[in-house]
Amino acid sequence: MTAELLSVTPTSILNALPHAVLALNAQDTIVSANDAAQAFFGASLSHLSKRPIAAFVPFGSPLLTLPSKVRQEQAGMVEYRVDLSSPRLGQGQIVDIHAMPLPEDPQVVILTLDRHSMAEKIDRALTSRSAARSVTGLAAMLAHEIRNPLSGIRGAAQLIEPTLGEEDRPLARLITDETDRIVKLVDRMEVFGDARPVRRAPVNIHDVLDHVERLARSGFARGIEIKNSYDPSLPPVHANRDQLVQVFLNLVKNAAEAVEANGGGTITLTTAFRPGMRVAAPGSPHKVSLPLEFCVKDDGPGVPDDLVPHLFEPFVTTKTNGTGLGLALVAKIVGDHGGVIEIDSGAGTTVRVLMPAYQGNPEGDPDQ
């Protein structure tokens, strides 16, 4: 027991922590950093040490003034949701910063960076799924209470059209057309009520994206440059092929509309292998990893920051005549596959989909 205790050192404990931990001296120079901190800043301890923290974080960041406040107050402080995004660290580097003086030397400040971006992604996904479930009940009510009266209105308009004069017939056709539009909207909402298990199989994502690209080039994205950057070594994704086509066709269509609104631009499709988190997949007792990353990028005007967290919720849209159901359906399909979807928006927009890889099943695939 004594030998085991002696093998556990303060350094080994710090390096076992998932959060970045830094020690700054009185001049705000880094004097120590655990393994997670070295990974966060993409630099070794020898490169980090003896350099000011200001060399590694964006200019004007709240992190730069926090150590002096801690020394002055001689008390721990916290800054929530600090954006450390930079060309060096990349985008989406949102952290909570905990700062406290070292008891043995009050001029030394210990910083802990709590990175919670993945938790927010999961929270957004769960919020979108909850909102979709709310639409389910509304869709069932609409299907029953609205579709039948609409059928009667449409039939009446068709019956009276031949009896009207030339000037009034367009009004009857308008009633018919608008009735059809409402029925289509109800049909789209009714999709949210489909709670059947997703029939899945190993799918080559590049075949799906190539198919979507061909459809886009021959239709809504004609004249728009579409590029791709694929990892040819990716394993199959465990998914329903038709539903994946629906997901990426919707995303590429949104990207094309954003590019056109910006006066032209480029859409880029990418695939990559990323070490993923493990989550419980719908309909399965087992947890799966999400190592497959598929992105649809455009260089359009981007999405307002206040709308980004809500884009996958029903009836939220940036389009003047949009219904706000397209991305909500995309989020439902991805969620039904046990995946996660997120949006990064700034100079353009990137929609990122994380999905499980096909692992095979010696007893046969239960999703077939």
3-state secondary structure of 323: coil
According to CATH, the superfamily of the domain at 2-115 is PAS domain (3.30.450.20)
Assigned CATH topology for domain 119-193: Helix Hairpins (1.10.287)
- At residue 285's C-alpha, the angle toward residues 281 and 286, to 5°, is 70
- Concatenating the DSSP letter of every residue in 115-166 gives E-HHHHHHHHHHHHHHHHHHHHHHHHHHHHHTHHHHHHHHHHHHHHGGGS-T
Nearest 10 degrees: Cα torsion 136, 138, 144, 145: -170
The answer on pLDDT for 320 being more than 90 is no
- At residue 11's C-alpha, the angle toward residues 6 and 14, to 5°, is 120
Helices H / strands E in the chain, number of each: 11, 14
**pLDDT tens digit sequence for 209-250:** 999 999 898 888 888 999 999 999 899 998 989 889 989 988
274, 267 Cβ separation under 8 angstroms: no
Assigned CATH topology for domain 201-355: Heat Shock Protein 90 (3.30.565)
What is residue 82's predicted lDDT score, i.e. its pLDDT? 82
pLDDT band at residue 363, thresholds of 50, 70 and 90?
A: very low
Residue among 347, 346, 316 at smallest CA distance from 331: 316
Residue among 367, 118, 132 at smallest CA distance from 239: 367
What is residue 325's predicted lDDT score, i.e. its pLDDT? 66
% of the chain exceeding 90 in pLDDT: 19
Beta strands in the chain (DSSP E): 20-24, 30-33, 77-83, 94-102, 105-115, 201-203, 225-229, 237-239, 266-273, 278-280, 287-289, 292-298, 340-346, 348-355
Identity of residue 2: T
Mean pLDDT in residue range 121-131: 53
Residue 353, token pair as written in the block: 């989909």
User: What are 342's strand-pairing partners?
Assistant: 352
CA distance 34 to 7: 17
Where along the chain do its domains lie?
A: 2-115, 119-193, 201-355
Whole-angstrom CA distances from 127 to 9, 124, 187, 312 are 42, 5, 23, 9
Verdict on whether the full-model pTM lies above 0.75: no
What is residue 263's predicted lDDT score, i.e. its pLDDT? 80
% of the chain exceeding 70 in pLDDT: 74
Mean pLDDT in residue range 68-84: 85
